Amino acid sequence: MFRSALVVTITFALGPAVPLALAQHEQHGGGKHGEEHGKPAQFKMPATYKEGVAEIQHRLHEIEELIASKELDQVHAQADVIQKVGNVLGQLALKRDSGVPKDAIKVVNKAGRELAAKFDAIDKAGDSGDLAGTRRVYEEMVSVTATLQKYVAKAFACPMKCEGGKTYSSPGTCPKCGMALKEVSPARGPHGGLIAWSGDQNCRVEATLSKDNEIRVYLCDEKSKPLSADRAAVQAHAGQEGAQHYSVTLAPDASKSFLRGRIAAAVKPPFLLMLKIDLGDSGKPQTVTIDFEAPTDMPHKEHEEQQGHKGDEHKGHRP
Ligand SMILES: [Zn+2]
């Protein structure tokens, strides 16, 4: 029934980049989770626009985890951080080296305020145990955040580091070796993954890769509203550019919020992941390329383990 195809290509390249959300995590004073309702979440006010957007994405991810585990009374603390950061994004964008174009500062300021203003709605829905309502406001917040992400400055550099740390603001080729420049720490999605759009801009794809080769794919529509993972039939292949590709079985998670699968152990970063996604609308097959530098941040349990946290305090209150 659902028969339009979308092809997604994801490259993993080894690099020194620390996953943004991991770096963020370390600033939160030991990753304290599970604050009681009413207690403010520990966080450090971001100093740059890029950090501000990353903090919001991190908090949205926390909210999604809370929705999944039905701990709605704790949404409050995360939404509180989003409100505080959302209200200062305009100021951060005004900083001289924020990377936000002058003509976009108004847009960014408005989106930040809009996001902050959703605090009451999500707090109210969370406190009354309204799962569908909480999710609906969360999805609106994800959409607004996509606008903020658009203006995070991009930097490109030669993958061979011919010019050391020199970066360019747009893609191109290295003047020394001629290789295509790669994006340095590309923008992250709400799950800490890398983002790409289908060629027709009708579908946004976010993909994460854990250190143990699990891949997760989150699909959104053109307004960055999450799509149910079971409406897409997906074929996937992974392999290095110009080398053998291995097929990857991707299936919807029980929550239907993402597709998951495992990449063959023989495939190590950097590599390409090519997804052929059948979205079930009238769209034609689409090709998307995501360029990864290394495994990305992963949902809760995984990244707490990666950082050597015990993780028990979080697992402990899961059903
Ligand atoms: Zn070069």
> Three-state secondary structure along the chain?
CCCCEEEEEEEECCCCCCCHHHHHHHCCCCCCCCCCCCCCCCCCCCCCHHHHHHHHHHHHHHHHHHHHCCCHHHHHHHHHHHHHHHHHHHHHHHCCCCCCCHHHHHHHHHHHHHHHCCHHHHHHHHHCCCHHHHHHHHHHHHHHHHHHHHCCCCEEECCCCCCCCCCECCCCECCCCCCECEEECCCECCCCCEEEECCCCCEEEEEEECCCCEEEEEEEECCCCECCHHHCEEEEEEECCCCCEEEECCEECCCCCCEEEECCCCCCCCCEEEEEEECCCCCCCEEEEEEECCCCCCCHHHHHHHCCCCCHHHHHCCC
What count of other Cβ atoms lies within 10 Å of the Cβ of residue 147?
17
Considering the domain architecture, whether residues 2 and 55 belong to the same structural domain is answered as: no
Count of domains forming the chain: 2
Q: Is residue 141 part of a domain?
A: yes
Q: Is residue 302 part of a domain?
A: yes
pLDDT at position 77 is: 95
Considering the domain architecture, whether residues 63 and 13 belong to the same structural domain is answered as: no
**Residue 50 is inside which H or E element, if any?**
helix 49-68
Per-residue confidence band for 301, with pLDDT thresholds at 50, 70 and 90: very low
Q: Ligand 1 centroid vs 172 CA: distance in angstroms? A: 11
Average pLDDT score, the chain: 79
Q: Ligand 1 centroid vs 152 CA: distance in angstroms? A: 25
Considering the domain architecture, whether residues 260 and 195 belong to the same structural domain is answered as: yes
Considering the domain architecture, whether residues 229 and 307 belong to the same structural domain is answered as: yes
Considering the domain architecture, whether residues 146 and 221 belong to the same structural domain is answered as: no
Asked which of 26-40, 56-70, 171-185, 203-217 is least confident by mean pLDDT, the reply is: 26-40
**DSSP string covering 250-276:** -EE-TTSS-EEEE--TT--SS-EEEEE
Last residue of a domain, one of 126, 152, 178: 152
- Give the model confidence (pLDDT) of 64-91 as tens digits: 889 988 999 999 999 999 999 999 999 9
Q: Is residue 240 part of a domain?
A: yes
Q: Is residue 118 part of a domain?
A: yes
Considering the domain architecture, whether residues 192 and 317 belong to the same structural domain is answered as: yes
When comparing pLDDT for 2 and 45, which is higher?
45
Considering the domain architecture, whether residues 95 and 119 belong to the same structural domain is answered as: yes
Considering the domain architecture, whether residues 24 and 144 belong to the same structural domain is answered as: yes
- Give the model confidence (pLDDT) of 86-140 as tens digits: 999 999 999 988 889 999 999 999 999 999 999 999 999 999 999 999 999 999 9
Candidates 86, 70, 78, 64; CA nearest to 216 is 64
Cα distance between the two ends of the chain? 36
Q: Ligand 1 centroid vs 15 CA: distance in angstroms? A: 15
* Residue keyed to tokens 């080769």: 213
Considering the domain architecture, whether residues 87 and 141 belong to the same structural domain is answered as: yes
Q: Is residue 117 part of a domain?
A: yes
Q: Which residues contact 239 (CB under 8 A, 6 or more apart)?
A: 245, 246, 267, 271, 272
CB-side neighbour CA atoms (13 Å) of 50: 14
- The domain that contains 28 carries what CATH number? 1.20.120.290
Q: Ligand 1 centroid vs 167 CA: distance in angstroms? A: 11
pLDDT at position 187 is: 67
Considering the domain architecture, whether residues 146 and 60 belong to the same structural domain is answered as: yes
Can you give the C-alpha Rg of the chain in angstroms? 19
Question: Which range marks the domain in which residue 43 is found?
Answer: 20-152
Q: Ligand 1 centroid vs 175 CA: distance in angstroms? A: 7
Considering the domain architecture, whether residues 301 and 207 belong to the same structural domain is answered as: yes
Last residue of a domain, one of 100, 127, 152: 152
pLDDT at position 299 is: 53
Candidates 253, 250, 217; CA nearest to 236 is 250
- The domain that contains 297 carries what CATH number? 2.60.40
Residues above pLDDT 70, as percent of the chain:
79
- Answer left, alpha or beta for residue 99, where phi above 0 means left and psi between -120 and 50 means alpha: left
Q: Ligand 1 centroid vs 173 CA: distance in angstroms? A: 8
Considering the domain architecture, whether residues 24 and 143 belong to the same structural domain is answered as: yes
Q: Ligand 1 centroid vs 265 CA: distance in angstroms? A: 29
Distance CA 50, CA 98 (A): 8
Per-residue confidence band for 37, with pLDDT thresholds at 50, 70 and 90: low
Q: Is residue 70 part of a domain?
A: yes
Q: List the structure tokens of 118.
A: 């959703």
Is the predicted pLDDT of residue 220 greater than 50, yes or no? yes
- Give the model confidence (pLDDT) of 142-198 as tens digits: 989 988 988 888 888 998 889 888 888 888 999 999 998 888 777 677 787 888 887
Q: Is residue 276 part of a domain?
A: yes
Q: Is residue 157 part of a domain?
A: no
Q: Ligand 1 centroid vs 130 CA: distance in angstroms? A: 53
Last residue of a domain, one of 127, 152, 177: 152
Per-residue confidence band for 39, with pLDDT thresholds at 50, 70 and 90: low
* DSSP strand pairing (245-248 vs 233-239): antiparallel
